[in-house]
Amino acid sequence: MSKLKEMDIRTIHIKLIDGTRINGQVNINREPGHDRVSDLIGTNGESFLIVFNATTYEDELENSQRHRTLFVNKEHIIWATPDENQK
């Protein structure tokens, strides 16, 4: 039986090529030596980024939708940044 890894959660902000913005959380405890948001976004091993507790904003901040889980195609990400108010 496989052993479950403890999650290391980071809040991030993402902008997609269609202008959609996403605020949500990701687990950066994926592979040894990959402990930064940039490692998670930049690795070629997985085509999709799993974002949970996410809020999407399509046009303006007032027009938002909440999602429990989103699978974001990494090829559609213009930029992603960690929330500065965390460890």
Domain-by-domain residue ranges, the chain?
9-82
Higher pLDDT residue, 73 or 60? 73
pLDDT tens sequence across 6-33: 888 999 999 999 999 999 999 987 666 6
The structure tokens listed for 19 are 């202008």
pLDDT tens sequence across 31-70: 666 677 887 888 767 899 999 999 999 876 678 999 999 9
CATH topology of domain 9-82: SH3 type barrels. (2.30.30)
pTM, two decimal places: 0.82
Tokens 């980071």 correspond to: 10
**For the CA atoms of the chain, what is the radius of gyration?**
13
Q: What share of the chain is helix, strand, coil (3-state, %, to 5)?
A: 10, 45, 45
DSSP letter at 4?
P
8 Å CB contact between 49 and 26: yes
